[in-house]
Amino acid sequence: MPEHREHGRAPIELKVDYKKLNSFFADYTRNISKGGTFIRTKKTLPVGTRFLFRLVVPGRASPFELNGEVVHASANADEPGMGIRFVWSDDRERAEFEAIVERLMNESLGPLVAQRLLRKQ
């Protein structure tokens, strides 16, 4: 299957909290990039759904509150979940988050691999 991602991804597990109707869920990411993430869950939202979620990042006092849009969902038994594209309200919010993602990629993959992935953007 060809790779269509705009941004390189780092394999990392972060806690994600979100609300679906009147229920709150806590799931985990499988990977993250500057442009989006994959949330591992059996309770996927429909493609096109925009929603607010909280992403708990190590070393940060409070979680990021991010807007996202479901771009694909999978019921695959091996890896159920949904691909999320981040939706930014302003450039400051985007730049702050991208700096955190770069730090996480450096810590997770090492600086050489992280920089190689980041250069692809």
CATH number at residue 33: 2.40.10.220
Q: How far apart are CA 64 and CA 52, in angstroms?
A: 10
Q: Looking up tokens 């700096």, which residue turns up? A: 99
What is the H or E stretch that residue 87 is in? strand 81-87
- Residue 44 inside a domain? The answer is yes
Q: What is the pLDDT along the chain (121 residues), one digit of tens a residue?
A: 344 555 555 455 566 777 765 666 667 676 777 788 888 888 888 999 998 888 877 777 888 788 899 999 988 878 888 999 999 988 998 888 888 877 776 776 676 665 665 565 5
Other CB atoms within 10 A of residue 31 CB: 18
Structural domains of the chain, count: 1
- Residue 95 inside a domain? The answer is yes
- Residue 2 inside a domain? The answer is no
Q: Which domain holds residue 103?
A: 10-119
Helix intervals (H) in the chain: 91-109, 111-119
